[in-house]
Structure 1
Amino acid sequence: MHNVDLFQDDALEFLDLPHRRCDRTSSSLDSGEIEVGREFSNKDSFLAALKQHNIMNGVNYNVVKFKSDKFEAKCAVQDDHPKMDSDMLASLILPTLKADPKTSVTVLIANICSQLKYTSSYRKVWIAKQKALEKMHAALFSKRAASYKGQMQGGHVWYAKVLREINKAKARANTMHIVCHDRDNLWFRVTEFDRPNQGIIARQYRAHLRNKTCDCGVFDALRYPCTHVIAACQNLRLDPITYVDQVYKIEYMYNMWRHVFPPITDERKWPPVLLSPFKLLPDRELHRKPKGRPCSTRICNNMDT
């Protein structure tokens, strides 16, 4: 959008202007200054630059005649600038959120105040943060799906992070002592020796390969072999990859990310839930005894004798 046309209406007003300058940057300007003769590629970039210029210079504008650069400016309010909307703040805090998406709203308010010299309201900055995060993650599903599809075409089968963890566990499994208690049911007892430099104390763990369990809890929680399970697999010359859950396959992840989730409808349009199958029962522990002294509900601790 060309907002300054010097060759037609305002040619006599800017006679000493040697040339017009095109704006190739984004919608936000670093300096907050608008030069005479600057051209903008679209209306949004022009309005964003105009808002930032007025905020940093302490003025407010009201459009009285939409022709060339004819705007009327007046003094701005002291606190929240009326032209400082959430869309403008979202583009302003987007680089900060890209560096750290967990940045708090209070830090973002201070960041905006240092740039624009205005303290915006908490609600407006919170809305701006949600819009900025929406811009960041708008194409998340398509990017992840394209990434996993490229890995599948490259011949990869398993998630790379799981393979790295298994390779690390193989190096530690060589220092453990393994005893097979039941070869048919794949019961093992794995002894881990002391390693003071790594903070590891000697302990014994039971690993059951058929049930995919281990006393350390890592195999049960993460669903890929821990160090003790890998040590048991090496004892029987088994491939530990066979005990990795299918959710870590690239094909599984691709099928999950390639779906597009529709937006959630309004809560008033949700189908009603039938409560007939559910029956609320009272807690028997809270029932009062008909006779005798009532039971104490205080939780006992180590101080009780």
Structure 2
Amino acid sequence: MVIRFDRHSHNFIVKETIDQNEGLPRQEYRVMLPSRWCDCGRFQAFRMPCSHVIAACAHTHQDALQLLSNIYKSETLLNVYNNNFPLVAKPDYWPAYDGEIVWHNDQMRRNKKGRPKSKRIPTEMDDLDKLERKCGLCRQVGHNRKNCPNRASASTT
């Protein structure tokens, strides 16, 4: 909502009526159209009219798109591709390279898919011999419960 304005110099005071959910209370902002200024800072930062500038333009029946920077216009985008690009010659015709050779660093590569590799630093706890596995039935070393010789065999009748 435009509260005060100066039609000759196009300076306005715009009060917010809708909460923008940005954590700020509704405030009053000073808008100066000729110098492309708004107190919120978005108009200067993005070079695009903010809601306060659009309200001021609507109050004076101006087109807010006229204040849009040229960097957002399609003519500027098309002019980027208006230049000719030179053709790339076959590698046989390239001049010999005499500069420094740079190798890639494998440590900087993205990790591959799958289970991640452990990055734990081994300690003296890791040096202990693994415990010998014993059978769950007879507690002897060298076999397990599945192939235990002391296991009761199935009756054959």
Report the TM-score when normalising by structure 2. Answer: 0.49
Is the helix fraction higher in 1 or 2? 1
Structure having the higher Rg: 2
Structure 1 length-normalised TM: 0.26
